[in-house]
Amino acid sequence: MKCTFGGVWNGGGGGGQKNMFVASFFFDRAAEAGFVDPAQPVAKVQPLEFEKAAKQACSMKMEQGKSKFPRVEEDNLPYLCLDLVYQYTLLVDGFGLKPSQTITLVKKVKYGEYAVEAAWPLGSAIEAVSSP
């Protein structure tokens, strides 16, 4: 198993990184930052969109942030800059993606006739059932 940092599995790299799917809080923050539609279950973005939103969020005072990012709950607004910087850094420096690489953000995954919320345990479950 390949590792990237601190013994954390990075998905193995290789061809799989060309088709990167990212779930849960990445989708939520992207929707709150305004660069994906929260009504859609899936969105195509580039890591540089997290960087651009982070630069905006980090350069604003709270009152400006409330106006610029109306989807962010007021209690979460102080953390928007941190979260977006972390997400960009994890994608680019942690997982080695290019800032301009297209990735897929997933809020819900179609399973039969249902739309199931995608969260980190889903990736763990897929890995568990895929391993010999």
pTM value is 0.80
Give which of 71, 77, 59, 91 is closest to 30, Cα–Cα. 71
Instruction: Determine the pLDDT at residue 43.
Output: 95
Domains of the chain: 18-130 (3.30.420.150)
Low-confidence winner among 61-70, 91-100, 120-129 (lowest mean pLDDT): 120-129
Task: Work out the mean pLDDT of the chain and round it to a whole number.
Answer: 85
Percent of the chain with pLDDT over 90: 58
Environment class of 53 (CB within 10 Å of its CB; exposed 0-12, middle 13-18, buried 19+): buried
Sign of the four-CA dihedral 63, 36, 55, 6: positive
Instruction: Determine the pLDDT at residue 1.
Output: 44
Q: Is the pLDDT of residue 6 over 80?
A: no
